[in-house]
Amino acid sequence: MIEKMKKNRFLFEELVKRDFKKKYKRTILGMFWSVLSPLFMLLVMAVVFTQFFGRSTPHYIVYMFAGNLIYSYFKEATNGGMSSLVSNSAIFTKVNVPKYLFLLSKNVSSLINFGLTLVVFFIFVAADGLPFRWTFFLLLYPICCLVVFNIGVGLILSALYMVFRDIQYLYDIFTLALMYFSAIFYTIDSYALQFQYLFYTNPIYVYIRYFRKIVIDNDIPEPSFHLLCAFYALLVLIIGAVIYKKYNYKFLYYV
């Protein structure tokens, strides 16, 4: 078992290196593009929406940034993850390697991008005059959940994409809809209470909410809220793992 992990580690490192190099070849700014893109999005949203929601929402820029931060990471990681099987099909039909490694290696580069954006986020937090508290360390919890969640969604999507290539377009529409349902630039207070609860069926909103509670509201979420975070992450991970287990030797028919 340990032997196997060690073997796979070398392959994993080489795959991560490859994905990184391929992603940023011939770009001068390299990985900073990935940090700039959520910042541009934030800028656009700030220009457009501050008029509408900015006055009633305290720390509106940080509020939006928290939403963008989580949403962008989710979108980038799952979009990248979706193609991980298809783009490596030349490899897994010729060499016997664990297929999930391709997905994990893609996820590493989006996680690093997320980390960089997170640093920028904290700069914004400081600039907005919000104090840094020890509770900020609790943010590691939703981040871990999100990493697992993204891997799970990536497993499901990459398997689907192997079979149906039009998932790509459907997923674009899905993520766009998800953005509007995740309360990134508005608050859910204006909805009736029963509708407000509906937002908790959206895992991305749940993770965003955790961030806002800690950073803006200085409030530690309840234990049940923590359970909800973990529940979504584990649910998709288990579904994804089952699909991979079941189709492990069938993917190659679809190449």
Partner 1 sequence: MVIEVKDVSVRYILGDFKDIGLKEYVLRKIKRQYHVKEFLAVNGVNFSLEKGDMLGIVGSNGAGKSTLLKVITGIMVPTKGIVKVEGTIAALLELASGFDGDLTVRENTYLRGAMLGYTREYMNRMYDEIIDFAELSEFQDRPFKQLSSGMKSRLAFSIASLVNPDILILDEVLSVGDGAFRKKSEKKMLEIIHGGATTILVSHSLDQVREMCNKVLWLDKGRQVAFGPCEEICDRYEEFLAKK
Binding-site ranges for partner 1 (CB under 8 A): 6-7, 10-11, 13-15, 17-18, 21-22, 25, 90-97, 163-167, 170, 249, 252-254
In the bound complex, what is the minimum distance in angstroms from residue 14's beta carbon to partner 1?
4
**In the complex with partner 1, which residue's Cβ is closer, 17 or 133?**
17
CB 91 within 8 A of CB 62: no
d(Cα 43, Cα 53) in Å, to the nearest integer? 15
In sequence order, what are the residues at sequence separation of 6 or more whose Cβ sits closer than 8 angstroms to the Cβ of residue 184? 45, 64, 67, 68, 71, 208
**In the complex with partner 1, which residue's Cβ is closer, 171 or 205?**
171
**In the complex with partner 1, which residue's Cβ is closer, 11 or 116?**
11
d(Cα 235, Cα 241) in Å, to the nearest integer? 10
DSSP code of 50? I
In the bound complex, what is the minimum distance in angstroms from residue 53's beta carbon to partner 1?
37
CB 154 within 8 A of CB 240: yes
CB 225 within 8 A of CB 251: no
* The dihedral sign for the CA sequence 41, 47, 50, 52: negative
**In the complex with partner 1, which residue's Cβ is closer, 18 or 133?**
18
d(Cα 210, Cα 142) in Å, to the nearest integer? 7
In the bound complex, what is the minimum distance in angstroms from residue 248's beta carbon to partner 1?
9
In the bound complex, what is the minimum distance in angstroms from residue 18's beta carbon to partner 1?
6
**In the complex with partner 1, which residue's Cβ is closer, 8 or 50?**
8
- C-alpha distances in Å from residue 157, one per residue of 38, 205, 239: 23, 20, 11
d(Cα 204, Cα 209) in Å, to the nearest integer? 9
**In the complex with partner 1, which residue's Cβ is closer, 50 or 248?**
248
In the bound complex, what is the minimum distance in angstroms from residue 181's beta carbon to partner 1?
23
In the bound complex, what is the minimum distance in angstroms from residue 254's beta carbon to partner 1?
6
